[in-house]
Structure 1
Amino acid sequence: MPVKMNATISDSKDKHDRSSRSNSCQLNNNNSNTDSLQNQNSTFSSPLHESVVMSSQLSDDVFLSLLSRFLEEYISGEEDAEEAVKFFRESFPVSSHISFVHEIINAVLEKSEHHQTKTSQLLRHLLSSKCLSRQDFKNSLGKLLEESGDLIIDIPKLWKYFAKILVHPIVSNEFSLAEIKECLKFLPSKLRDDGQAAELIAELISEIKDSKGTQRVTEMWSQSELQWIDFSDSLRKVNSVVTEHKLEFLKDEDSCTKKYSASNLNTDYFRDQLLPYLKDNEFDEICNWIQVTVGDKIKEPEFVRILMTAILESSVEQCSNEWIFKTENFYKLQKLIQRYVDADDSLELQCLFAIQAYIDKLQHPSGLIVKIMNHLCENNVLSNEAFLAWEKNSNPAESNGKMQALESLKPFFTLLKEVEDGSSADEALSSCFF
């Protein structure tokens, strides 16, 4: 028995008022020409179809009615995929394709698994036949993910249902995991921070595994060059999702090793990921993530500079026209400096170069560099020798902002040298007795 029209599109309004969300993705152009609606011999012919053909416009109401009839006849099994593709090509102008995908996914999200599977197969056929462009499909998914903050409140299993709808385009290579990652940029930041992007990917990977097996999943994951940390900045949340879905066989270490085996550190990726990671994770999690992401590059000067800069950015905040050094934030993160610099003279110098560059970028806020240097010195994060080496360094490549910084730090170095001279005198005196 065919599904009733009001059981596909409109009943979502009665259940969860999703129609208001659907309306945000209606046709952008109600005056779209429907010259393609000329084949009145289509297998999907109906009085509804005839009324559309006679009209030169495809209004929102007609679009939804036509889509509802099309979907119910296809899902009920009355028409095969080839006929469905033909009818889609003849009935829906290109300007309606984003709305079409948005509406049919919305219509079956809470339907049976049969509805979701048939819709997934339909989307695969539309993509493979080139009736529906990958870009329009991607744009529609992005729109749905943008709305997911409301949807997930009403539909706790939202990502499981999404995965069932997306699995056929993915396994047939009509759409890729990498493209799903691009769509996830539209996910509300609150959901992403809560690990929901990783949850969707895990549900999708699980569907592929159930359909095609572990080997196929491993191949697709490797080809995509994706990593779990692409979908969440929290290693704890990633591990939880991976364990819950029994996907431990897809570990980031393999792909990360491959990604960072080149001679140079992938600085752009690392810089983009590090700052939010410092804010949301504990010391051990941060160290684990750095090990996976950077590998054997942790002793490179560029890594140390990026790390030092990120720590500063996490610890300095602008308040009106004043820059505040938040010592509690810095204190929490300074263990990272001690761990990765490890009293290496050359790396300590790189830390100071990074501070110099950061202060110069902020145009030398009054007193800020003094507070930072005092903290580093008083807490023995960097050695006195490192500060003195930085003061004497005359490398032209490191000259930007150096004179202004030294001018601000005159009292600091005066006191530091007095301490150093006192220590030297004490050592000399002690040596006389031994």
Structure 2
Amino acid sequence: LFTNVLEAKPRARKAVGHLLDAALNEDILSTEAFLSGFKMIVEAAPDYAIDILLIWQYIGEIIGAFIGAPTSNMSLLKPILECVPDDKSKQLFQFIMQYATEFSEALEDLATFRTSSFDQQAIIVRELFTNVLEAKPRARKAVGHLLDAALNEDILSTEAFLSGFKMIVEAAPDYAVDIPLIWQYIGEIIGAFIGAPTSNMSLLKPILECVPEDKSKQLFQFIMRYATEFSSRSRIQNFWQSSGFTLNDLIKSDLIDSSFSNEYDWLFDTPEVESPAPQSKESNSPRADPQLVKLFKSVNDQSTTVTDPEIITYIREHMDPNEKFYIRNIVLSYLEACLINRDPHKKIQEDIAKKRMTILNAIIEHKPEAEIQAVYAIQNFVNKLEHPPKMARLLFDIFYDEECVSEDAFFEWLKHPDQSETEGHAVVEMSTKDFFTWLQQAETEVEEGEEEEGN
């Protein structure tokens, strides 16, 4: 994990720090194994330093993210530094402290506002929510975890948390005018809160009691969706069963139909290890979603006005992010919507392609693996159409220009092709040769410009 990101972008090192934190908390890694693996990195550091001059800074970046992760790993700082040569320990300690993540900094900042005033604590909760309602998903997740930590550190009381949450709920109808997905975003924050390392499931009932009856079911669904996404289904199942709740405890009985009950049967199941069921050929292959294709196409339909948030909501509610081809299926649906198929000519309708790109950006969120899957979706799509002239190049240009797929992702697709995805790869590679030549030239010009500025 360390070696794979030493020369990557900072966000990759931060992600590895958080991943290591999660792995220790889920007992995927033992503390002893973590320290042993870290010691291997330290011992190899002098060799790495030949090519990676900032090796200790990058190690500090990873450990900083690990130390500052949602659960406290500060107790491991001493054995971590004991693995490091004396002449490097001070330097590494400084880097670790420097790169402690925004989470720990935010908690520290929140602690400076520590107040015994119930009303002021409630206002802090309200402001934490409002500040991220229109931010990126990771910000809402961070606030959910921050609220969990603040309650555990006694910076906020449970009563003040619920009071602040009630303020948000009461203001929700006004927010909804400009933020149509207000309940989804609230559910995202509470989902992260419920799925945080410490169990807050017992607060789910008083949380939902703050919510109007006509919104409680919808909010519950969003909360459970994001709780499992940010944590895991097994952990949420354990939290739920420990709470002793039934669905009737949280949702009015007349709102609970058989479909809703079936959706949450897993909460009551006995946890067990299941062997994976054989998948159908269809589920093993990427495919466009017919309804999503229609929604994407609606940009040019004068009789209907389907907004981007509505399409994103459809994706969230009808497509499983845990499915292998989740990203690819969405991108394929988008590409199908952009296609003008008038045999023998097949073209991309660029107005749809550009107008709906905001949706792909919102789903992909600059995640490297998701970006790579988007490129493979283009490969699958163009290959299925038997490689119409210039189509792959046009799509590469659009995805790059609209900042949906990064330069790094395109080069990853080019240089390290997935051996299970070779069909059509070589042809697309040839047809986009000019695109990659242009990217390399642009990169060279930037590097030369930086060198000139440095001189």
Q: Normalising TM by the smaller chain, what interval?
A: 0.3 to 0.5
TM-score normalised according to structure 2 size: 0.33
Q: Which of 1 and 2 has greater Rg?
A: 1
